[in-house]
Structure 1
């Protein structure tokens, strides 16, 4: 098996695992707590629309990344970018996808029962500000963005580039929605937390430093 074939299979298995993992976790949380932790909510709301778009793209990614394992010609349909199809680029994408999953899953697990998806779910009882949340206000979204960038490098195409761009736009919009909700719910506590902890952790601090130097 070539490294290209390995990464192709890895990408498909990655999204199959993510789908099964989160579906099982959501099912377990609902069975234990008695309410859904990730309802879509009203589709006309910003939260509902963001969740629908994100889920549709995740479903498309899962289906197409699995299909390309069995039908390599799918890459033509996806708008493959041959200039990026090197083992070095694929390796960077592979590492980024693994790192993104690790970051997101660690932060997700750290929240335990307090985790909610979006703003439509029953409000969490506490504001978690320690652990990974002492370094980033949005470590789960940070991990998702890293993984999405990794997908583009592991399977470079116009499709995965569009997924990266749209996914980043939806996440940025959703972050704004959720932070406004938290500010309204926790008031001064969240304002102090927001002033102390960067939105994107070390990545955000580095970007802010570059901007300030300019």
Structure 2
């Protein structure tokens, strides 16, 4: 299970972030990675997310290749059970499907961060018709799934900090879209919830 989780996470990062970003760049000439070194709220969010992702990768790698080191991550023993692990694994696969479909819905509009340089086109089809942030929803599900599979203090911090960072980024992006699209985005907000409910 530990090795499968590591392989899955690697595929997750490559298939859902690296490849779609490369495809978008080849199709449009636009680099989808929109975080920069400029001191702004959205760029601090980008840095925080990179740190969270790196810690998650290291934790999963340790769990797979150096399981003896996991004892130092303060395991939450009462959450350890085969049923909970399978629920976590199910959530990881669900998140993959959600993000994959949402990226297909976005097509050439795929961005990581806020794009201040190019025209913004609102996506309302597919999963964006039932959630304004299906990709972020999928990422939150990843954090929950990882915590259930490897319940310890580190994965709990990843879950909590990831939730906070995503909440901040969503609101920054909403502010940007309200400024860029005005009434079009306001109307979208009245029809579709930020998450699901």
TM bin (shorter chain): over 0.9
For residues 43-86 of structure 1, give each alpha carbon's deviation from its aligned partner in whole angstroms, at most 9, with x where no partner exists: 42111011111012112211221122111112112221111111
Residue 180 (str. 1) matches residue 175 (str. 2): yes
2:72 pairs with one of 69, 77, 100:
77
Residue 20 (str. 1) matches residue 14 (str. 2): yes
Q: Normalising to structure 1: TM-score of the pair?
A: 0.86
For residues 4-47 of structure 1, give each alpha carbon's deviation from its aligned partner in whole angstroms, at most 9, with x where no partner exists: xx2x2232112211222222332232233222101312442111
Structure 1 position 148, deviation (Å): 1.0
Q: Which residue of 1 aligns with 2:138?
A: 143
Task: Please provide the CA RMSD for this pair.
Answer: 1.5
Q: Which residue of 2 aligns with 1:35?
A: 30
Residue 200 (str. 1) matches residue 195 (str. 2): yes
Structure 2 CA distance for aligned equivalents of residues 14 and 90 of structure 1: 14
Are the counterparts in 1 of residues 62 and 70 from structure 2 also a CA contact under 8 Å?
A: no
Which stretch shows the higher mean deviation, 64-73 or 158-167? Answer: 64-73
Structure 1 CA distance for aligned equivalents of residues 34 and 120 of structure 2: 18
Which stretch shows the higher mean deviation, 167-176 or 37-46? Answer: 37-46
Which stretch shows the higher mean deviation, 60-69 or 156-165? Answer: 60-69
Are the counterparts in 2 of residues 114 and 124 from structure 1 also a CA contact under 8 Å?
A: no
